[in-house]
Amino acid sequence: MQDQYFKSYEDLEVHRLMLEDEPRTNTYREAICNASNLFKGKVVMDVGAGTGILSLFCAKAGAKKVYAVEASSLAMVLPEIVEANNFSQVIEVIHGKVEEIILDTKVDIIVSEWMGFYLLHESMLESVLYARDKYLVPGGLLFPNRARLYAAPCSLQDLWLKKRSYWTESKYEFDLSPLLLLASQQSAPEIATIPTEGLLSDPQLLWDLDLNTVSQSGLQSFSDRRFFSVESEGPFHGIGLWFTCSFPPAGEGEDPPELSTAPWDEETHWKQTVILLPTEGKLEEGDILGWELNLEKDKDSRAYRIEFNVLDDDEPHGIPCSCGSAKCEIIKHFLNNPNRDSEIPDGNQGGDGDVGEANIAEDNS
Amino acid sequence: MQDQYFKSYEDLEVHRLMLEDEPRTNTYREAICNASNLFKGKVVMDVGAGTGILSLFCAKAGAKKVYAVEASSLAMVLPEIVEANNFSQVIEVIHGKVEEIILDTKVDIIVSEWMGFYLLHESMLESVLYARDKYLVPGGLLFPNRARLYAAPCSLQDLWLKKRSYWTESKYEFDLSPLLLLASQQSAPEIATIPTEGLLSDPQLLWDLDLNTVSQSGLQSFSDRRFFSVESEGPFHGIGLWFTCSFPPAGEGEDPPELSTAPWDEETHWKQTVILLPTEGKLEEGDILGWELNLEKDKDSRAYRIEFNVLDDDEPHGIPCSCGSAKCEIIKHFLNNPNRDSEIPDGNQGGDGDVGEANIAEDNS
């Protein structure tokens, strides 16, 4: 399974698509090349170097040494690329998995483009964290150093028609509708473009990963329970997931460069990820929508198993909760004003403290 | 590997794409439903029934009994589809691989949509031939009963740019051209649409399979050596492959219905298949282009390994040869006029008899 994973990166088509993804590659370029004050004279490791483009950026930014670690057979061609760009004195290619190579030096900076679909799917983050724990000097930098996962309920007519409704219409004068149930059980997430008008509420931040501190075990599973206040009415087809990553700022007071895969930003090869519902829902403006999302990493691969459930109307909200309902806003107000009596009012808002945004803070620690 | 093959058919998306392929599904519908004189009262086997659409066509055409054999878990839903269309008395679903099921009756007709990319890639033809040899009555019918594979040299600017030239241009101001060699070694066939103006010569028939007689062992490998007379000048990027399938005609004197995936016919989900060259060639009108094509079936999967080589100018042509050169036309003339002395003239046309069209005739036997 792992070997297959690395094998897939030998296909240059994948690398062409990633290089052609300009929001992705340009953000890395700017984050690295504009931060030459951070890179000058430093030792860098590029985890999963691929075509070597990030290593080249680092060399250009003034790194003293760049270890380009690549597990696939692309590592055989990398030295030629390094030479073609006159960086043989700087970039050293290491062929192997970062978990298996032997390097008897620490590095000042780790760069990596490790992000998978919905951030985590088949991502290389675990390898990056392994490299961080083993090779990064205390106070060293990670490029990127922060990743955030967002979600919003969506209306996605075209995708819905293709994936679900298709089976309801007769086909060549025959009724194939029994396949509809099967179709609705196939819940593999879809990589799709969510039109901004398909967002039914403001997105919420599900997971805010500080890559300097998150542990490998912290990536094994993720559970979240959310309540959204619906802002536009429409058929409800599923939840959209997307991520942003940010990089250490070039200088004090500067904004951290950010790579965003949000629906309103320039499209990347990650697009957005959609988890479709088994059946179409209907939402009205002002409705409160609750759901539960569980991601569980497969033991033998880099894939995640996704479980997604819409909650009944009477399910208790988390504390605090960003749904925007009057009740939850009052609770938030209580919590944000510690001078006042912050005892939580009665009602169905109480319950499990292990839900909502509180949970996110825990996952970050 | 095999299990993965069947697993992939559980994904309804594949079936949606096949059903939406109207040239495909409508040709089957017409070939079957217009031939009710052939189907009336007959026992039919549908090998790889999928969504059951072909079985439904057969039932509608008047079959007495249809055994819908399906190895994937779709077989669990098929009885519901059969019932929804009121054919429970006719269609019997059998869950299993046709090589493993037990059926103690023979059938009059076998229908199957077994064709893969470039006809053979991951095709189900072997299973159909197994079913033919075990279950078809002598003189029984196969739908389709004939398959032909065609080839032509092609100019494919867009595909070429994407797959090869991409690496020659600098990327983010860096030189990644060492990847060009790697890209040119990646010779997996591309599924692509060949614009008719990209055809550099008349296509030639490579393989003409009579499905009533071809043996399973006859599918294990295919070798061919061809010479084409170039009809339009242009950059030469690779060879295009496509197929047609034809069905028993509904009545005497009628044309056999044909499903064509040729570049000039309505696009199907098979599109055409292109084997790209490692480097771009240049052809002038009147050039004679020779090549060698070897397909070898993988032992453990339904895939083929493809080897394709352009021949040197002085390689001997086959006998007979359809390249259209004066020399080969004279030889053909000799061969077609047995009354005259059919001794082959001297020259570089002689040599290995195991090449050219002669080879195709052998493969059919």
Closest CA to B249 of B135, B131, B141, B149: B141
A179/B51 Cβ within 8 A: yes
Reported ipTM: 0.83
Q: Considering only the top CATH level, what class is A146-365? A: mainly beta
Q: Which two tokens stand for residue A165?
A: 């409704």
The domain locations on chain B are 1-113, 146-365
Mean pLDDT value across chain B: 87
- Specify the CATH number of the domain B1-113: 3.40.50.150
Nearest to B172 among A12, A53, A80 (CB): A53
Choose, out of B182, B184, B190, B191, the residue to mutate when testing the contact with A (most A CBs < 10 Å).
Answer: B182
Q: Convert the pLDDT of each residue in B12-58 to its tens digit.
A: 889 999 999 999 999 999 999 999 999 999 999 999 999 999 999 99
> Do residues B70 and B94 make contact, with C-beta atoms less than 8 angstroms apart?
yes
d(CA B49, CA B81): 12
Which residue of B4, B9, B10, B12 to mutate against A (max A Cβ within 10 Å)?
A: B12
Question: Which residues sit opposite A207 in a β-bridge?
Answer: A149
Q: Which of A85, A166, A178 sits opposite B84 (nearest CB)?
A: A178
Determine the 3-state secondary structure of A199 from DSSP: strand
CA distance A351 to A275: 27
Beta bridge partners of A359: none
**pLDDT score for A340:** 52
Q: What is the pLDDT along chain A (365 residues), one digit of tens a residue?
A: 345 555 555 588 899 999 999 999 999 999 999 999 999 999 999 999 999 999 999 999 999 999 999 999 999 999 999 999 999 999 999 999 999 999 999 999 999 999 999 998 888 999 999 999 999 999 999 999 999 999 999 999 999 988 888 998 899 999 999 998 888 877 678 999 999 999 999 999 999 999 999 999 888 888 988 899 999 999 999 999 999 999 999 999 999 999 999 999 999 999 999 999 888 999 999 999 998 989 898 887 888 888 888 888 777 887 788 777 777 877 777 777 766 554 444 444 433 333 333 232 333 33
Interface of B with A (CB under 8 A): 11-13, 15-16, 19, 25-26, 29, 51-53, 56-57, 74, 77, 80-81, 84-85, 162-163, 166-167, 171-172, 174-179, 181-183, 186
**Residue B233 — φ and ψ, nearest 5°?**
-75, 155
B29–A172 C-beta distance less than 8 A: yes
pLDDT at position B340 over 60: no
Respond yes or no on whether the N-terminal peptide bond of residue A203 is cis (omega within 30° of 0). no
Indicate the SS3 state at residue B177.
coil
**Rounded Cα distance, B225 and B241, in Å:** 14
